[in-house]
Amino acid sequence: MIVLAGLVGGIIARMLRLPLLVGYVAAGIVVGPYTAGPTVVQIHDIELLAEIGVALLLFSMGLEISFGDLQPVRRISLFGGPIQVLLTVAVGAAASKALLGIPVAEAIWFGSMISVSSTMVVLKTLTAGGVSSTLASRVMIGLLVVQDLAVIPMLVILPQLANLDQIGPVLLRSLASAGAFLAAVYFLGTRLLPKVLRWILTWGSHELFLVAVVATGVGVGYATHAVGLSFALGAFVAGIVLSESEFSHQALTDVVPLRDIFGLMFFVTVGMLLDPRYLVANAGRIVLAVILIFLGKALITGLLTRAFGYVNLAPWIVGLGLAQIGEFSFVLVREGSRLGFLTKPTYDLALTCTVLTMALSTLVAKLALPLGRLFQAATPASEQPVAPEAVTALSGHVVVAGYGRYGRLITRALKEAGVPLVVVELNHALFSDLQASGLECIWGDIGREEILRAAHVGQAQALVLSLADLGTAELVLRHARQLNADLTIIARAGRDRDVAVLQKLGVDAAVLPEYEGSMEVVRQVMSRYRKLPSESPAAAQRGA
């Protein structure tokens, strides 16, 4: 029922030009316990499945982020992140006390909940827009990492508000155990995990590799849950650790379909928590709270981004992009309710604000560019400073797909000619040879969009398909042309009739190596019989 409702909601959202997650949340309201019609009754069971969706999303996010990627934004992440959390907690608590009438202790819980943004929503928005590699996006991801980590001390500090004299030892023990566990995960993940995956790949079973990757994400998540940390946070750490290996791009490609289905369950579950009757009865208070949250978070995060030297449209993109409340807020709200710190009215308000800000987040984020441009137009033009930390990427290079017999020769010739190139290879034994040669290389299936993005096809000048596979060529052409309409694509044909098929698919050149080789043999024979001194029949035929 959830999948069917999500499909209908997604189709309607697309027809209305809205983000898919808005349709998923609306579908959750329809099949939830507070509305008439079909109802999902096993809500707790679905919530457990939804947690897997959050974990898989954070795992895939970790796969896309390497420590090298976060290096350019480390200053704002490590210093700006904690400042943003503390400022949002303080301002959120004061505003909720003064404007919403929430008692002081509950207001601190409410402010803490507001301080965390939604990694799930932000990543979904960045991925859908294909902008996850921009500088502003990396700033957002860096801040999200710090916010997610901040939930750990929050879960320790908030329950101790009534007993502050004991908070120091409890917090130190919690942080020490968390740090020791995460260090162990990092050590085992960088030393042991790659060896295990290489061993699995020697059997040539792609299915077993997929199972191993998913088991890594949810297994580390379960281990972190067992030691008292967040299940989703553990999956995220596992993704970051795996991102440092050559398996990251293909692992991401394999996980994406599972992530999207379980992610659908998460957003539908979010909608199921929303009670339309409470929404109608407290509409004024809820609207005020949602507006204050969006404005407050956008101002704090945007101004902080500008204070750290990011200019032009970056503060607008980061501020409005992180203005929603996050999924870890559900953890804080439920814990506060369970321990008796949050009354029913505050609990309902927090839950409703979380759902609404997540649902409206993508619409608010779309305002960043037009509002930023209006602000720039209204502001006197002065010097245009550049962001303090630039992110460089490959550009104007050649992507070679396949490092077999033909791909190896092509790669060697391009390298000797000084042409910048990236080689993509799925066979891990051949990939090991590539690594040993020192060439820029990626392990993965060139037919998947994520692998093409990892090879920076959007900035490439040419793509060479040395694989004589029409199915792969069709997939590559479809995705590559979307990423780079001006890309030159040269493909190898396996048979005579494949040349016409490849040309019809839209390659710029289709080459049949056997034909070219046979023509060279003919040229050698004819030249020795002094009937064709220089020009080959293949060249003559191409000229004709």
User: Domains of the chain by range and CATH?
Assistant: 2-161+172-378 (1.20.1530.20), 398-511 (3.40.50.720)
Sign of CA dihedral 365, 367, 368, 369: positive
Q: Which pLDDT band, with edges at 50, 70 and 90, does 394 fall under?
A: low
pLDDT computed for residue 130 by the predictor? 57
Q: Find where tokens 């202790």 sit.
A: 105
Q: Which pLDDT band, with edges at 50, 70 and 90, does 385 fall under?
A: very low
Tell me, what amino acid is at 214? V
Q: CA 339 from chain center: how many Å?
A: 34
Q: Kindly state the tokens that stand for 209.
A: 């590799």
Closest CA to 85 of 266, 360, 328: 328
Residue partners of 292: CB distance under 8 A and separation at least 6 = 95, 99
- pLDDT, the chain, mean: 80
Q: Which residues pair with 40 in a beta bridge?
A: none
Model confidence, pTM: 0.61
Query: How far apart are the two ends of the chain, measured CA to CA in Å?
Result: 63
Phi, psi of 90 (to 5 degrees): -65, -50
Q: Which pLDDT band, with edges at 50, 70 and 90, does 134 fall under?
A: low
pLDDT at 165 over 70: no
% of the chain surpassing 90 pLDDT: 13
What's the CA gap between 325 and 533, in Å, rounded? Answer: 76
Residue partners of 450: CB distance under 8 A and separation at least 6 = 249, 252, 253, 256, 444
The stretch 127-152 carries a mean pLDDT of 75
Q: Which residues pair with 441 in a beta bridge?
A: 423
The more confident residue out of 132 and 483 is 483
pLDDT computed for residue 530 by the predictor? 63
pLDDT at 103 over 60: yes
pLDDT computed for residue 291 by the predictor? 94
How do residues 498-535 score in pLDDT, each as one tens digit?
888 888 888 888 888 878 888 888 888 887 776 555 55
pLDDT computed for residue 392 by the predictor? 42
Tell me, what amino acid is at 136? A
Sign of CA dihedral 112, 333, 288, 9: positive
